[in-house]
Amino acid sequence: MIRLSLPATLSPQRALGFFNAFRAVMLSVIVLMTLTRGYLGQPLADGAAFYGWALAYGVLIALWSVLKRAALADVVQLTLGVGADVVMIVLLMRFNGGVGSGYGMLLLPYLAVASLLASGRYALLYALMASVLLVGAELADTPRPDAGGVLQTAFLVLACFVTSAVTWRLAGHARRSEQLVRSRTAQLKRLDRFNALALQHLREAVLVVDDTGTVRQFNREARRLFPNVERGRMLIELAPFVARWRERGDAPSVVQATVHGRHLTGRLEPLVGTRSRAMALFLRDSADLADEARREKLAALGRLTANLAHEIRNPLSAISHAADLIAESADNEAQRRLTRIVRDNTRRIDRLVEEVLALNRRDRVRSETLPVSAVLAEFIEQFALSQPDAAGKVLTRFHAPGVAVSFDRGHLQQILWNLAANAWRHGSRTAGSVRIDVGQSAGRVALTVRDDGPGVPNAIQPHLFEPFHTSESTGTGLGLYIARELAEANGGALDYLPPGGCFRLTCKVAHA
């Protein structure tokens, strides 16, 4: 179906209604100016004929307002309406002496409005319709047309075509301009959404501040550093940065400040070329930077040590096997003591290698739904086989029975083994000296492993989860570090709760 050539903001129904309203206004103007006599062309020769014409035209306009709701193509309705208008204006000309009356000029605004709503070929069709009727009316009025009437008719026909063509061209330019504006607006909106998305995912806190210190834009990380930040609000915490901006002018600079106990560092970038003076602040917490650097170093260390561990394992196995052969043929205590030293140290190195290899396992998580009661029962049974004197002395207490966690089974067993072994080693090794409590709060399951020992000294607590930090001569310092890494890889957390020997592992609840 052929549609009217309209902007997206103007529907065909609204356009046809607009055109009908224009016709009603034009009819009202013609009636009003005719009643005042002499203001529009020459006075009517027959008043009854004019009022009959006006009544007929009004009925046509009313009928057309009903027609535009019919199931007809929009361009067909417009063409019928323009045809009726041309016929009525030509009749008005005949009532008032033909083309010389000047009423023919009324065709031009009708053609202009119709050309605005229709495409180019229909605009020319409407001009042709008007021209045919004008020429036909002139020939019907005067069997022998005079040169003056023919010339006036020719000029009026030319004016009709020029009006339709020019109006259609202008309307086309306007439509293309509107489409370009809509396209650019959509592109700007998409770009704005992309910028907002990119801004929110930056690790840095980003704030856009004007020269009065009022915040104009910020991201989520800025909200974390400045809880009270709001658009259109001045923050007293930003005063040092604004002062630095005023001091340095439009030159970028490195900035540092302590805000809410956090040492912030970053850069200040003046936004040059904007309508109002503004600056962008890119800030990071020094503690976050240090933690990020530490994680990168540990990741590099993990990759390096894992490669070394693989290379060490083969010669270590050969050394251990050779020590066993020497022990079998040893015929004195000195040789047996030396081979025992070799075996003990190879086992220690092998344990260290195994723990180093565990550093690479945090990326290989196979989460499954694990009932806590079943997992603990299996773990305590295995722990008792490894530590026979601990059989029946590790107690469990369920504050939230029947809960299940989403965790890697091997990772959970390794974490529990590390915590229980430490608790048994530092506790009194009596019944109930090691206890595992299970609770649930705020959608998290907490497994708390506690012993009745003295706990971790205050001097060691800040370094408790650091790799290779140990207070025991036989330890590797990797056990608690690996346990925390595995907990975080499974979406959980491992914390020490002073005083006393108490560690809490929090896990995600498994939903059925």
DSSP assignment of 144-164: S--HHHHHHHHHHHHHHHHHH
Q: What pLDDT does 70 receive? A: 52
Radius of gyration of the chain (CA): 46
Q: What pLDDT does 8 receive? A: 44
In contact, 56 and 118? CB cutoff 8 Å? no
Residue with token string 């990797």: 478
Q: Which two tokens stand for residue 214?
A: 């009022």
Please give the helix or strand (H or E) that residue 398 lies within, else none.
Answer: strand 394-398
Beta strands 278-285; 215-218: pairing state: unpaired
Q: What pLDDT does 6 receive? A: 47
Q: What pLDDT does 39 receive? A: 45
Q: What pLDDT does 477 receive? A: 67
Helix spans in 387-477 (H)? 409-426
Q: What pLDDT does 503 receive? A: 92
Alpha-carbon gap, residue 271 to 278, rounded angstroms: 5
Specify the DSSP class assigned to residue 476. Answer: -
Kindly list the averaged pLDDT for each block of 10 residues, start to end, along the chain of length 512: 47 68 81 64 58 82 68 66 81 74 78 74 80 78 65 82 83 80 82 72 82 82 83 81 79 79 82 73 81 73 69 77 76 78 77 66 74 90 85 86 86 88 88 89 88 85 75 66 85 87 89 65
Angle at 64 between CA 61 and CA 70, to 5 degrees: 165
Distances (CA, A) of 328 to 192, 298, 339: 78, 42, 10
Residue in 456, 417, 437 with CA at minimum distance from that of residue 506: 437
Alpha-carbon gap, residue 116 to 18, rounded angstroms: 12
Query: What single-letter amino acid sits at 156?
Result: L
Please give the span between the terminal C-alpha atoms of the chain, in angstroms, as a whole number: 55
Residue in 169, 37, 152 with CA at minimum distance from that of residue 104: 152
Specify the DSSP class assigned to residue 227. Answer: T
Please name every residue paired with 493 in a beta bridge, in sequence order, or none if there are none.
Answer: 506
Q: What pLDDT does 448 receive? A: 92
In contact, 417 and 491? CB cutoff 8 Å? no
Alpha-carbon gap, residue 204 to 216, rounded angstroms: 17
Distances (CA, A) of 59 to 53, 70, 345: 10, 17, 112
Q: Which two tokens stand for residue 502?
A: 């108490």
- Residue 11 has a CB neighbour count (10 Å cut-off) of 13
